């Protein structure tokens, strides 16, 4: 249990006083949420890189959609961010790809925090530099936290517990938290993207003062191995290696970032992108369509091995993907209607007809991880659920959650009968072949989609809902309209995806928390405002050990499922990709890297020559 408030405040003040008094701090070169770190303080490189990888060449990549913004501060609320903009900045720490939730110093060389996790101090590397040669300073770090929290709902939620950042030495920044016990906070502070204060407070080439709260297409100043070289708005971006990059010799950078140039070409959708890839206009494509993967990769370059198809196991995360209801719409308030929509979804037939049987149904908000609930709650999980028993559906305690199973006419008829019964119990009825509520208002749903793949799924689902009397419209809009409508929650139903780490924490507030439901741009696209879920999120965030974290996550998963906030869709345990065979990588890949593209790869001149001659 967490200490009482008075004791907690006293512990925090004692720890702070000890630090201020100069008591010996325990500096850590790496941080882990799972015990000891793998690599010692004097490690030379990660085990999964080639320290002798050749540098040079270019990698051409595909991006779907468009872009009109390089300012990451407002990327969740304004414009369409260019993915290359993320490449120019660095964080205090960087993730190890062969450990779970472990990071080592990048801009910072070390961190120190007390046993109660009430604050953390980061010490910057004295050699850290911006690309204009100026040093990275504590003022930059403090500025970054301030502008990100003020202007981004995502970062505001993620760093909610960080109440103060102050300079405590020439290279040191102390982050004070609003209380002890949140063991994740020292770790996630290390994920802070650091921006150059002097650049953002300066003027551009035309003498205009920069505005950190506005979108911009002025290439930003960063500290990383890459900077934006040239771009065509909305169509392409090229980044180049910084020849005098300050951190090239760091153990966390050895053997990585091997390309001289990274090029991003933007396409409207995956179908158009694949045609460009076939024409050798890009080197690498990630394929999210099961149909495309099964039918569209039979062109000559695949047959003669100039193009390599490969699937990489996904071991670093879980996911929930589903047709999400917008609870801000009154018609979706009754969970029986939401459950009826699940009974109308024939996943098995969709999987056969659209996806060549490649997928499996999602049964958890943490699908693919040990954090997914199973069986009935017991032990510590049951104790946690007992604390919110009066606020959750009774089935949480009595029934194992399972999605309806379709796939044949008998099952489909049975599922639709069950859906009809649920709707009748909830006060809905059929009038003139239309489903209406108790006030006689028809149930009409617009399913908002942004690409042909999502449209195909929605159109397949539509007839089943119409058999229940629901009026369904499927509307595909362009990327810009879609982003704007998402940010303002202007939709009835969407397909949404929530990726989950192997150590959930503060981000759960942004996904499901009541406060996030009213914040434009948050990931709480459903609009959940549920005190039981808020309480369970806090249990996760303040878990003192792995066992408690797992139990609290199982409890949250179970409560989310039994509220029927989404109609769960499907998942695949591999990342599909195809590449022109011009590149090599170290063997074996680290467990949590997926493909490791492009950071762990390099341009192989011998392979490239063979592909060119073919």
Terminal-to-terminal C-alpha distance of the chain? 66
Whether the per-residue pLDDT at 337 is higher than 50: the answer is: yes
Question: Do the bridges between strand 90-91 and strand 193-194 make them parallel or antiparallel, or are there none, so unpaired?
Answer: antiparallel
Taking the alpha carbons of 97, 99, 101, 107 in that order, is the dihedral positive or negative?
negative
Nearest 5°: CA angle at 300, between 298 and 304? Answer: 105
- Name the token pair of 109: 């060389």
When pLDDT is cut at 50, 70 and 90, the band that residue 431 belongs to is: very high
Tell me if the bond preceding 272 is cis, omega within 30° of 0.
Answer: no
Mean pLDDT value across residues 229-249: 97
Q: What is the DSSP string of 510-557?
A: HHH-TGGGGSTT-S-TT----HHHHHHHHHHHT-SSHHHHHHHHHHHH
Tell me if the bond preceding 53 is cis, omega within 30° of 0.
Answer: no
- Residue 64 and residue 283: Cα distance in Å, rounded? 15
| Alpha-carbon Rg for the chain in angstroms | 25
Query: What is the overall mean pLDDT for the chain?
Result: 93
Q: What is the pLDDT of residue 7?
A: 31
Pick from 88, 75, 68: nearest CA to 199: 88
Pick from 421, 488, 491, 413: nearest CA to 449: 491
Question: For residue range 479-527, what is the model confidence (pLDDT) as tens digits?
Answer: 889 999 999 999 999 999 999 999 999 999 999 999 999 998 899 999 9
Residues contacting 144, CB < 8 A, separation 6+? 192, 193, 194, 195, 197
Mean pLDDT value across residues 357-367: 97
Per DSSP, 488 falls in state T
Per DSSP, 570 falls in state E
The 10 Å Cβ neighbour count of residue 153 is 21
The 10 Å Cβ neighbour count of residue 403 is 15
When pLDDT is cut at 50, 70 and 90, the band that residue 612 belongs to is: confident
- Residue 245 and residue 242: Cα distance in Å, rounded? 5
Q: What is the pLDDT of residue 130?
A: 98
Q: What is the pLDDT of residue 446?
A: 98
Q: What is the pLDDT of residue 23?
A: 57
Nearest 5°: CA angle at 424, between 418 and 429? Answer: 120
Residues contacting 178, CB < 8 A, separation 6+? 161, 163
Consecutive H or E run containing 562: helix 546-562
Q: Provide, rounded to the nearest whole percent, the portion of the chain with pLDDT above 70.
A: 96
Q: What is the pLDDT of residue 453?
A: 87
- Name the token pair of 21: 């008094």
Burial class of residue 432 in the structure, from the number of CB atoms within 10 Å of its CB (0-12 exposed, 13-18 middle, 19+ buried): exposed
Asked whether the beta carbons of 596 and 585 are under 8 A apart, the reply is: yes
Q: What is the DSSP string of 46-66?
A: -TTS-TTPPP--EEEEEEES-
Question: For residue range 19-34, what is the model confidence (pLDDT) as tens digits?
Answer: 444 557 899 999 998 7
Mean pLDDT value across residues 372-382: 97
Question: For residue range 581-605, what is the model confidence (pLDDT) as tens digits?
Answer: 999 999 888 999 999 999 999 999 9
Least confident of 378-392, 549-563, 583-597: 583-597
Beta strands in 65-138 (DSSP E): 90-91, 93-95, 102-105, 108-112, 119-124
- Name the token pair of 375: 């069986």
Q: Provide, rounded to the nearest whole percent, the portion of the chain with pLDDT above 90.
A: 90
- Name the token pair of 2: 């967490």
- Residue 457 and residue 435: Cα distance in Å, rounded? 22
Asked whether the beta carbons of 563 and 530 are under 8 A apart, the reply is: yes
Question: For residue range 183-224, what is the model confidence (pLDDT) as tens digits?
Answer: 999 999 999 999 999 999 999 999 999 999 999 999 999 999
Pick from 454, 350, 340, 473: nearest CA to 407: 350
Q: What is the pLDDT of residue 13?
A: 41
Least confident of 124-133, 138-147, 313-322: 313-322
Number of H helices, E strands in the chain: 19, 27
Angle between helices 409-425 and 335-343 (to 10 degrees): 170
């Amino acid at each position: 249990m967490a200490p009482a408030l008075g004791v907690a405040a006293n512990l925090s003040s004692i720890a702070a006083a000890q630090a201020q008094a100069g008591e010996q701090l325990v500096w850590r070169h790496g941080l882990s949420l799972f015990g000891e770190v793998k690599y010692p303080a004097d490690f030379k490189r990660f085990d999964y890189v080639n320290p002798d990888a050749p540098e040079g060449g270019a990698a051409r990549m595909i991006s779907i959609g468009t872009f009109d913004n390089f300012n990451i501060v407002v990327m969740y609320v304004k414009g369409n961010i260019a993915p290359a903009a993320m490449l120019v900045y660095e964080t205090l720490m960087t993730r190890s790809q062969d450990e779970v939730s472990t990071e080592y110093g990048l801009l910072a060389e070390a961190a120190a925090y007390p046993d109660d996790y009430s604050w953390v101090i980061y010490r910057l590397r004295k050699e850290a530099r911006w690309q204009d040669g100026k040093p990275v300073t504590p003022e930059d770090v403090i500025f970054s936290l301030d502008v990100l929290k003020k202007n981004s709902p995502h970062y505001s939620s993620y760093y909610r517990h960080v109440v103060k950042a102050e300079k405590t030495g020439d290279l040191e920044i102390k982050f004070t938290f609003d209380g002890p016990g949140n063991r994740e906070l020292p770790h996630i502070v290390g994920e802070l993207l650091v921006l150059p204060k002097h650049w953002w407070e300066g003027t551009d080439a035309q003498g205009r003062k920069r505005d950190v709260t506005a979108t911009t297409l002025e290439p930003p100043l960063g500290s990383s191995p890459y900077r934006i070289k040239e771009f065509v708005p909305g169509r392409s971006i090229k980044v180049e290696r910084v020849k005098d990059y300050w951190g090239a010799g760091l153990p966390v950078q050895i053997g990585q970032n091997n390309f001289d140039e990274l090029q991003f070409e933007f396409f409207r959708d995956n179908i158009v992108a694949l045609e460009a890839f076939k024409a050798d206009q890009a080197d690498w494509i990630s394929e999210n369509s099961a149909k495309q993967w099964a039918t569209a990769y039979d062109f000559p370059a695949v047959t003669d091995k100039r193009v390599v198809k490969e699937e990489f196991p996904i071991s670093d995360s879980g996911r929930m993907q589903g047709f999400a209801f917008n609870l801000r719409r009154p018609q979706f308030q009754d969970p029986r209607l939401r459950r009826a929509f699940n009974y109308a979804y024939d996943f098995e037939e969709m999987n056969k007809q659209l996806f060549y049987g490649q997928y499996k149904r999602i049964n958890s908000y943490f699908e693919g991880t040990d954090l997914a609930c199973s069986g009935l709650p017991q032990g510590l999980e049951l104790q946690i659920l007992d604390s919110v028993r009066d606020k959750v559906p009774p089935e949480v305690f009595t029934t194992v959650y399972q999605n309806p199973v379709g796939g044949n006419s008998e099952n489909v008829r049975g599922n639709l009968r069950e859906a009809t019964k649920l709707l009748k119990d909830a006060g809905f009825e059929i009038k003139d072949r239309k489903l209406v509520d108790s006030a006689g208002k028809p149930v009409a749903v617009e399913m908002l989609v942004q690409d042909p793949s999502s449209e195909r799924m929605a159109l397949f689902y539509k007839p089943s809902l119409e058999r229940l009397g629901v009026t369904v419209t499927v509307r595909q809009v362009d990327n810009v309209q879609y982003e704007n409508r998402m940010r303002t929650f202007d939709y009835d139903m969407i397909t949404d995806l929530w990726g989950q780490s192997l150590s959930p924490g503060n981000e759960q507030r942004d996904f499901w928390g009541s406060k996030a439901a009213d914040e434009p741009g948050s990931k709480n696209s459903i609009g959940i405002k549920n005190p039981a879920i808020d309480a369970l999120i806090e249990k996760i965030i303040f878990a003192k050990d792995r066992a408690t974290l797992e139990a609290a996550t199982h409890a949250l998963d179970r409560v989310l499922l039994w509220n029927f906030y989404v109609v769960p869709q499907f998942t695949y345990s591999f990342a599909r990709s195809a590449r022109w065979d011009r590149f090599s990588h170290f063997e074996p890949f680290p467990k949590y890297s997926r493909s490791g593209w492009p950071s762990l790869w390099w341009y192989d001149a011998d392979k490239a020559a063979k592909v060119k001659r073919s």
